[in-house]
Amino acid sequence: MKTSRIIFHIDMNCFFASCEIAENPDLFGKPVVIAHDDPFQRSIILSPSYEARAFGIKTTMQVREAFKLCKDIIVVEPDMNIYSSYSKQFNDYLLKISPKVKMASIDEAYIDVTDVKIPALELAKKIQDDLIRDLHLPCSIGIAPNKFLAKMASDMKKPLGITVLRKREIDKYLWPLPIEEMQGIGKKTAPKMRELGIKTIGDLANFKDFDALKNKIGLINATGLVQRANGIDDSSVDYSNNDGVFSVSNSHTFDHNIYEEKILKDTLKVLANTVANRLQKKNIQAYTIGIQIKYANFRQINRSRSLEKATNDEYEIFKIVSTILDDNFEEGKSTFNIKEDDNCIRLLGVFANRVIESSEQPVTQISIFDNLSELEKKVELKKILDGVKDKFGTTSINQGYYEYRNSDTDKTDKK
């Protein structure tokens, strides 16, 4: 009999503010906000303490707006060295419980505790108590049979919440939530959902016109989101980086803040090509493709998509990371625009993990619905490229792409 997995998602509460309070206990119980020291108070808040949040102060709010809500807020300059140190201590602590730990960002992690011989609720309470006692950091924990439900559960009760979300309970606790609150639904995907009449997670789970959804947000995105809305997520807690298993990545740090979408997309193309080329050289393919974004305000995120079929195709990789970027970036409008301050980017990266040898990839079955002429073209093109590489060396040529936009049809084609 197959044992059901037990996955924790642990989300550190008000992480930057909590770290500063841990370093300076005099800040405890006071309305603290983490933000750059700006004489014009135009900087945005990276993390408000819960005492500050009680006044309505939120992340990304400008400091001057926060002072209107509470004249007694304490503004603390961010120190990424401190936050990185606490993040490492957090990770090291979790690794003592199980090797199956994956840091999702600087302040959140997944841990597979299926094999840990302690009841889940008891273990979650122990983790909370240990982190408060040893690091003075509060956290919320979601407990579920998969990563998606665990992530959703950890958001349901803050601070210091412990929430169990079982698959059989999603109609009661998950489906009534607005579609914007679903993990994987970004600020650009949500309006597209609402255009189709999808207002809640339940609406998505039970949406009947899959073709319309696919046409609106893409096949890969649509398939994954519908599955997760129904509580299905077979992705593992990928802890490959913890034990040295191979993964491929590449990143670029810009000389200045970037908020133009075209520059970011052009950079993604180069990064996708590079990652694909490295995968191809190693004769491996990846089941997980993602991007790393570091914003100018120190916020950092990693976002990824799990694939049913592993890939090392540069065009496929670019399509995936481009979609992820769309949901995590809004083009700025002016130098002092708050949206630009929140969204302008300093570093962009592409990564691929959960890799397999290309020879282990299951054979693709061609169906009567496939475009055979396109398949034949790809096979012939690969033969030509392989021939050039055999004669002039493996680095002599690689398949790339550019985008051709037809102004009449507004259709982007691969060339």
Number of residues in the chain? 415
Helices H / strands E in the chain, number of each: 15, 14
Report how far residue 245's alpha carbon sits from residue 97's, in angstroms, rounded to the nearest whole number.
20
3-state secondary structure of 364: coil
- Short-list 195, 161, 198, CA closest to 182: 198
Tokens at residue 173, please? Answer: 């606790």
Beta strands in 165-241, from DSSP E residues, in sequence order: none
Q: Which of 20, 51, 77, 108 is catalytic?
A: 108
- Cα angle at 52 between 46 and 55, to 5 degrees? 120
- Short-list 260, 261, 238, 105, CA closest to 183: 105
**Contact present, 104 and 85 (Cβ < 8 Å):** no
Contacts for 397-401 with beta carbons within 8 Å, 24 or more apart?
A: 398/273, 398/277, 398/280, 398/314, 399/314, 400/273, 400/314, 401/269, 401/314, 401/315, 401/318
- Cα angle at 299 between 294 and 305, to 5 degrees? 60
- Short-list 320, 291, 341, CA closest to 59: 341
260 is catalytic: no
Report how far residue 218's alpha carbon sits from residue 220's, in angstroms, rounded to the nearest whole number.
6
Report how far residue 204's alpha carbon sits from residue 223's, in angstroms, rounded to the nearest whole number.
11
- Short-list 243, 239, 13, CA closest to 115: 239
Contacts for 23-26 with beta carbons within 8 Å, 24 or more apart?
A: 23/82, 25/136
Report how far residue 303's alpha carbon sits from residue 326's, in angstroms, rounded to the nearest whole number.
12
Distance of CA 54 to the CA centre of its chain: 28
Whether the CA torsion 89, 102, 124, 53 is positive or negative: it is: positive
Report how far residue 400's alpha carbon sits from residue 173's, in angstroms, rounded to the nearest whole number.
45
Instruction: Report, in angstroms and rounded to the nearest whole number, the Rg of the chain calculated over CA atoms.
Output: 23
Report how far residue 237's alpha carbon sits from residue 95's, in angstroms, rounded to the nearest whole number.
13
Residues taking part in catalysis: 108
